[in-house]
């Protein structure tokens, strides 16, 4: 994968003379994005260089986890940087995935699923306390009662996934490089599309068919907002990249 955009942005830093950005394998086989920098300032602050990259032109997933100062970059006879010959650095703990490291994709998905399962279980336990009688299927003949119980379980699972995605899902959308404001809206939209079914269906089941005020409130609170959320995701799918 090329990181020309990151290198171009690094070249704009006043203390960077040359740079190269590439991935290396850290302990445990984790891939880490690293920037090699030739600088006139031997005391160049790596964290400040990373902060310099945090802007509209470089999305968070493409910001190097470590900045390594070198005297010069290895080059091929053609003059191009020989990325394969860049020295393997000793990475700080945060960059190599030690204590304080940001979560990788696999770790983030694992945490997301764990939180989703916990929230789903909690929602199942709280359903009857919040909406008494909403999930009562005692009058439903089998096997149809089993289908409804499956629905109630699916609602809680979707609620758990929605809450977990709101907590941990933003980096997964940010890598698509859409405008940040649209990425934020898409993040909220995915969370709402998943999480809304649990409160929505339980509320509908206990609301009288001729209770027009409550029915209207539910329609605008859930149905209309779900349509808007779907529209946001369509806009996100067709939006131009942030750097276009």
Question: pLDDT: is 31 or 210 the higher one?
Answer: 210
Inform me whether the pLDDT recorded for 211 exceeds 90: yes
Is 101 in contact with 26 (CB distance < 8 Å)?
no
Name the pLDDT band for 204 (thresholds 50, 70, 90).
very high
Q: What is the pLDDT of residues 76-120, one digit of tens each?
A: 888 888 888 888 776 655 454 544 445 566 778 889 999 999 999
C-alpha closest to that of 80 among 154, 7, 135:
7
Mean pLDDT on 37-46: 85
Query: Which one is the CATH code of 4-96: 3.40.50.1700, 3.30.300.30, 3.50.50.60, 3.40.50.10470?
Result: 3.30.300.30
Extents of the domains making up the chain: 4-96, 105-238
Q: Most distant CA pair in the chain: distance in Å? A: 81
The percent of residues above 70 in pLDDT, for the chain, comes to 88
The pLDDT value recorded for residue 98 is 47
Mean pLDDT on 185-191: 97
Rounded to whole angstroms, how far apart are CA atoms 44 and 70? 11
Rounded to whole angstroms, how far apart are CA atoms 68 and 138? 66
The percent of residues above 90 in pLDDT, for the chain, comes to 51
The pLDDT value recorded for residue 4 is 86
Sign of CA dihedral 53, 57, 60, 62: negative
**Residues forming a β-bridge with 58:** 55
Rounded to whole angstroms, how far apart are CA atoms 44 and 62? 21
Question: pLDDT: is 44 or 210 the higher one?
Answer: 210
| Average pLDDT over the chain, rounded to an integer | 86
Name the pLDDT band for 29 (thresholds 50, 70, 90).
low
Is 159 in contact with 108 (CB distance < 8 Å)?
no
Rounded to whole angstroms, how far apart are CA atoms 218 and 242? 36
Cα dihedral 73, 103, 49, 7 in deg (nearest 10)? 50
Give yes or no for a cis peptide into 241 (omega within 30° of 0): no
């Amino acid at each position: 994968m090329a990181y020309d955009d990151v290198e171009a942005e690094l070249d704009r830093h006043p203390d960077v003379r040359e740079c190269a950005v590439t991935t290396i394998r850290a302990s445990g086989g984790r891939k880490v994005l690293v920037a090699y920098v030739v600088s006139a300032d031997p005391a160049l602050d790596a964290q400040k260089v990373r902060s310099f990259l945090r802007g509209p032109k470089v999305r968070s997933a493409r910001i190097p986890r470590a900045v390594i100062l070198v005297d010069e970059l290895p080059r091929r006879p053609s003059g191009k940087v020989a990325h394969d010959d860049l020295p393997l650095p000793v990475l700080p703990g945060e960059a190599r995935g030690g204590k304080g490291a940001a979560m990788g994709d696999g770790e983030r998905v694992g945490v997301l699923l764990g939180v989703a399962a916990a929230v789903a279980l909690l929602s199942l336990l709280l359903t009857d306390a919040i909406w008494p009688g909403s999930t009562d299927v005692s009058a439903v003949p089998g096997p149809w009662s089993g289908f409804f119980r499956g629905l109630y379980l699916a609602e809680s699972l979707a609620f758990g996934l929605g809450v977990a995605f709101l907590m941990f899902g933003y980096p997964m959308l940010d890598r698509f490089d859409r405008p940040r404001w649209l990425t934020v809206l898409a993040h909220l939209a995915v969370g709402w599309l998943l999480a809304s079914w649990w409160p929505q269906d339980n509320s509908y089941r206990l609301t009288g068919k001729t209770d027009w005020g409550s029915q209207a409130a539910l329609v605008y609170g859930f149905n209309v907002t779900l349509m808007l959320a779907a529209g946001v995701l369509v806009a996100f799918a067709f939006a131009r990249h942030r750097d276009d």
